[in-house]
Amino acid sequence: MPPTCSVLDFFEGGSDSCISAHTLFLCLCPTRETLVAPWCAAVSCRVWCPGVMAVPRGIEISAGQRGFKRELRSTMTDTKAWTGTTMKAFIVLALFAVAYAAPIEDDKIVGGYECRKNSVPYQVSLNSGYHFCGGSLISSTWVVSAAHCYKSRMSVRLGEHNIAVNEGTEQFINSAKVIRHPRYSSRNLDNDIMLIKLSKPATLNSYVRTVSLPSSCASSGSRCLISGWGNMSSSGSNYPDRLRCLDAPILSDSSCRSSYPGQITSNMFCAGYLEGGKDSCQGDSGGPVVCNGQLQGVVSWGYGCAQRNKPGVYAKVCNYNSWIRSTMSSN
């Protein structure tokens, strides 16, 4: 019998081992028509784990593009449908891995605008040969990101604007420790927060700065800035090289819960526009939601991107101040 892999792992035929999830998803629809797409959002489509090797990409799945949600475990023979609340999730066959390497794993803001260069100095890019998630610098040695972006080792890129070129403002620093919240759940993305300790302190300057942790939780209606290199398209792939920004309000808890019945915990909030058209997307995962100069949210998940009545869902950073500070002081 093949092993039962964790939600973020997939079974590799012939080796009796689980492999870590990594990027595009190969969707197998009822018509037997296969589709390589940024996500398998259609309720009728199923994720197919072929015998060769399916590498779910970190940007969507383990590395985060904007999150995903799976309620079923995956093995080589698992072809059960994802639930209708399935989030954006990328899976790519190994033979596609090289061709799609860097750009496919990045997702960007839908309906936003190009950020003024170096105007978001706390924004970082998590990189493992390609950008796969965002993050926020909260001290010279610590970064906050999403737990579903976890990789044991990564390069943290600071001072970035155009991730396709060297602009002379960048600092590339390897991770020394990557610490997920101890109560993170990959089943519903509760406690979707993670800390990354840098191998050396970042040099703080006009291009690289920290963002403050929240002094209190933000109220609904608060205007916030969301940023990232995620997908700019709600129905396809369009990944920018330059950092994108989106101004969006925090939605009421009632609106958030009615948009995702039974899926919102006390550690989550929604932000964006119920009419759709503007949202964070795949590749933005782990990135910042900053309101009044304070880090209030971490890009976590959502159904599709910029869809009506399906706003983005974010980890509520104000609930984690104690955990963040105690983890930093003990590591």
Q: What is the pLDDT along the chain (331 residues), one digit of tens a residue?
A: 434 443 333 333 333 333 333 334 444 444 444 444 444 443 334 444 333 222 222 343 333 333 333 222 233 333 333 333 333 333 222 223 323 322 222 233 787 899 999 999 999 999 998 898 999 999 999 999 999 999 999 999 999 999 999 999 999 999 999 999 999 998 899 999 999 999 999 999 999 999 999 999 999 999 999 999 987 766 666 777 899 999 999 999 999 999 999 999 999 999 999 988 877 877 789 999 999 999 999 999 988 788 889 999 999 999 999 999 999 999 9
- The reply to whether 131 belongs to the active site is no
Query: How many C-beta atoms surround the C-beta of residue 305 within 10 A?
Result: 31
Catalytic residue of the set 125, 145, 285, 300: 285
**252 and 312 both lie in a single domain:** yes
Longest alpha-carbon distance in the chain: 56
Looking from the CA of 227 toward its CB, the CA atoms found within 13 Å total: 26
**243 and 204 both lie in a single domain:** no
Structural domain that includes position 152: 121-210+320-330
What's the pLDDT tens digit per position in 266-315? 999 999 999 888 778 777 899 999 999 999 999 999 887 888 899 999 99
- The reply to whether 181 belongs to the active site is no
* pTM score: 0.70
**81 and 157 both lie in a single domain:** no
What's the pLDDT tens digit per position in 136-147? 999 999 999 999
| CB distance 280 to 230 below 8 Å | yes
**199 and 282 both lie in a single domain:** no
Best CA proximity match to 104, nearest among 144, 80, 132: 132
Q: Which residue has the tokens 């910029």?
A: 306
Catalytic residue of the set 131, 148, 161, 181: 148
| CB distance 159 to 153 below 8 Å | no
Catalytic residue of the set 106, 192, 279, 284: 192
Task: Please return the burial class of 36, using the count of CB atoms within 10 Å of its CB with bins 0-12, 13-18 and 19+.
Answer: middle
Cα-based angle 98, 43, 134 (whole degrees, multiple of 5): 45
Look at residues 51, 75, 104 and tell me which one is the last residue of a structural domain. 104
**182 and 324 both lie in a single domain:** yes
Residue 110 placed within a domain: no
Look at residues 53, 73, 104 and tell me which one is the last residue of a structural domain. 104
Rounded to 10 degrees, the C-alpha dihedral 319/329/288/206 comes to 140
Residue 4 placed within a domain: no
CATH number of the domain to which 298 belongs: 2.40.10.10
